[in-house]
């Protein structure tokens, strides 16, 4: 009797299970039909009819798949963008945001979905600083390297806004900034898609621009934040270069720590750019010989013509202004002219060099005054090549024309106006005789 009862009970359970499975299958088929219907309208961007059929799916088949919520967000974004009635628009916004919350409760992926939600909140409720900041902060903490580039950008943007409202410290803002850049760098190193790499790079550029435009960094902050880790990472070239970039984007150029940083970078990876930076640091401290030496090393390493021109010009100017070695300064100018013979500032500098040398060149007063004629040649050339130099060049021409020889002096040495004259000594150049008017 017991055995018979058990068999009857087992058969009853089986029939119930079969009936339930049949019902579930029927429900699933009905859900798929409804989903297919709203998707057809969505394809042709008929959002009103898509909404009508999407609602049926949302209320009757909410657990079918997460695409219901992805598509729902598309529909409600369209409705929000095209609604003029504020009250209706706010209702659509409430629904849009609730879709993200329900998607998380049913399908998880909290970090990813919060990131998506934060972008819509930032788009439609830009003043919700605290909400957006906390949402992006949680998203980044959960997603880490998998965070979307646009979410990182939004995170840093609202970190800046939150900082301005005195809700977080500058230290916290900097932590958020550096963390975001680190994750983006990690993404760049592993991403193969050119399009995605471009999106990551653009996000980095915009983030750095945000920090720069809001003047978040200064030399003191950078010193404080990074000096304590210098010994630990002093042999890590990637770290050193990254910190150097922070100094660069903050336009911080005068810092003992920055000089130490560049010295270490140059020790590990010597380059023309690094030697030039060290030359400038030394010049600021009036360490002239050291600065010249750094410039000379930079020139040896440089292979770029534009960079080499700049280096020759800068070292020529340094030697002219800070030493009495005018010949050496002239030689650097000539090196620069071999690279770019149409740059006015080199001719202007040569004019200054020759004008300064005039008193110490030549056997007599007439020969020395002819050096002023050569200097004026160079000032004339400078102003024809660079309109920005016209005013300064004309002042120099006016000044040094007063040092031309008198006509009778030229006659005494068997020269006349316009005749070619060879200047001897270290200058070894030709000019034309010009007399004082």
- DSSP assignment string, 163-220: HHTTSS-HHHHHHHHHHHHHHHHHHHHH---HHHHHHHHHHHHHHHHHHHHTT---HH
Instruction: Give residue 34's pLDDT band: very low, low, confident or very high (50, 70, 90).
Output: confident
174: pLDDT strictly greater than 90: no
Query: Do 332 and 383 lie in a common domain?
Result: no
How high is the pLDDT of residue 73? 93
How high is the pLDDT of residue 27? 53
Query: Do 380 and 415 lie in a common domain?
Result: yes
How high is the pLDDT of residue 23? 43
53: which residues sit within 8 A by CB, 6+ positions away?
34, 37, 38, 41
**Within-domain flag for 382:** yes
Contact indicator for 381, 434 with CB cutoff of 8 Å: no
407: pLDDT strictly greater than 80: yes
Query: How many Cα neighbours within 13 Å face the side chain of 107?
Result: 18
Instruction: Give residue 169's pLDDT band: very low, low, confident or very high (50, 70, 90).
Output: confident
Q: Which of 280, 309, 341 is the last residue of a domain?
A: 341
pLDDT, average across residues 407-429: 94
Q: Which of 307, 341, 375 is the last residue of a domain?
A: 341
Domain that holds residue 372: 356-437
**Within-domain flag for 360:** yes
**Within-domain flag for 419:** yes
Query: Do 375 and 413 lie in a common domain?
Result: yes
Q: What is the pTM of this model?
A: 0.63
CA dihedral 95→101→102→103, nearest 10 degrees, is 110
Residue corresponding to tokens 């299958």: 25
Query: Do 375 and 308 lie in a common domain?
Result: no
Phi, psi of 82 (to 5 degrees): -110, 10
pLDDT, average across residues 189-210: 91
Query: Do 360 and 333 lie in a common domain?
Result: no
pLDDT, average across residues 36-51: 88
How high is the pLDDT of residue 314? 98
184: pLDDT strictly greater than 80: yes
**Within-domain flag for 383:** yes
Q: Using CA atoms, how far apart are residues 327 and 350, in angstroms rounded to an integer?
A: 10
Query: Do 369 and 416 lie in a common domain?
Result: yes
The neighbouring-strand residues paired with 423 are: 429
**Within-domain flag for 374:** yes
Q: Which of 285, 313, 341 is the last residue of a domain?
A: 341
Domain with 302 in it: what CATH number? 1.25.40.10
171: pLDDT strictly greater than 70: yes
**How many structural domains comprise the chain?**
2
pLDDT, average across residues 384-399: 97
Phi, psi of 21 (to 5 degrees): -60, -45
Query: Do 278 and 335 lie in a common domain?
Result: yes
Query: Do 301 and 372 lie in a common domain?
Result: no
- Averaged pLDDT score across all residues of the chain: 89
**Within-domain flag for 73:** no
**Within-domain flag for 72:** no
33: pLDDT strictly greater than 90: no
17: pLDDT strictly greater than 90: no
Query: Do 328 and 381 lie in a common domain?
Result: no
**Within-domain flag for 208:** no
Q: Please, what's the b/e burial string for 1-30 (b: 16 or more CB within 10 A of its CB; e: otherwise)?
A: eeeeeeeeeeeeeeeeeeeeeeeeeeeeee
12: pLDDT strictly greater than 50: no
């Amino acid at each position: 009797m017991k055995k018979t009862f058990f068999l009857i009970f087992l058969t009853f359970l089986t029939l119930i299970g079969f009936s339930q499975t049949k019902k579930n299958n029927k429900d699933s088929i009905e859900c798929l039909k409804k989903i297919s219907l709203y998707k057809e309208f969505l394809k042709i961007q008929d959002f009103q009819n898509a909404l009508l059929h999407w609602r049926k799916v949302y209320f009757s088949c909410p657990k079918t798949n997460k695409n219901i919520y992805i598509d729902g967000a598309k529909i409600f974004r369209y409705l929000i963008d095209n609604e003029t009635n504020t009250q209706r628009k706010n209702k659509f916004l409430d629904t849009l945001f609730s879709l993200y919350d329900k998607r998380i409760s049913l399908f998880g992926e909290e970090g990813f979905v919060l990131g998506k939600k934060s972008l819509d909140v930032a788009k439609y409720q830009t003043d919700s600083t605290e909400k957006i900041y906390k949402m992006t902060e949680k998203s980044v903490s959960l997603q880490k390297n998998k965070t979307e580039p646009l979410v990182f950008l939004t995170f840093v943007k609202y970190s800046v806004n939150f900082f301005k409202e005195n809700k977080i410290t500058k230290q916290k803002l900097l932590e958020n900034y550096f963390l975001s850049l680190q994750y983006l760098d990690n993404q760049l190193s592993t991403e193969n898609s050119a399009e995605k790499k471009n999106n990551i790079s653009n996000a980095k550029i915009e983030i750095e621009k945000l920090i720069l435009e809001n003047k978040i960094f200064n030399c003191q902050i950078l010193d404080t934040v990074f000096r304590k880790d210098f010994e630990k990472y002093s042999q890590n070239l990637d770290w050193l270069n990254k910190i150097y970039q922070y100094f660069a984007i903050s336009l911080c150029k005068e810092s003992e720590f920055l000089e130490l940083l560049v010295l270490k970078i140059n020790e590990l990876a010597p380059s023309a750019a690094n030697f030039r930076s060290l030359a400038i640091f030394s010049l600021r401290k009036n360490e002239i010989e050291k600065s010249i030496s750094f410039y000379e090393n930079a020139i040896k390493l440089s292979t770029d013509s534009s960079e080499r021109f700049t280096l020759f010009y800068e070292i020529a100017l340094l030697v002219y202004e800070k030493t009495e070695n005018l010949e050496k300064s002239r030689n650097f100018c000539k090196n620069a002219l071999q690279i770019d013979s149409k740059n006015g500032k080199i001719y202007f500098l040569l004019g200054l060099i020759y004008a300064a040398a005039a008193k110490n060149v030549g056997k007599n007063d007439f020969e020395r005054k002819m050096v002023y004629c050569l200097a004026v040649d160079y000032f004339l050339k400078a102003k024809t090549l660079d309109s920005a130099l016209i005013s300064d060049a004309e002042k120099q021409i006016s000044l040094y024309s007063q040092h031309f020889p008198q006509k009778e002096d030229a006659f005494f040495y068997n020269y006349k106006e316009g005749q070619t004259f060879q200047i001897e000594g270290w200058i070894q150049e030709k000019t034309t005789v010009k007399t004082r008017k």
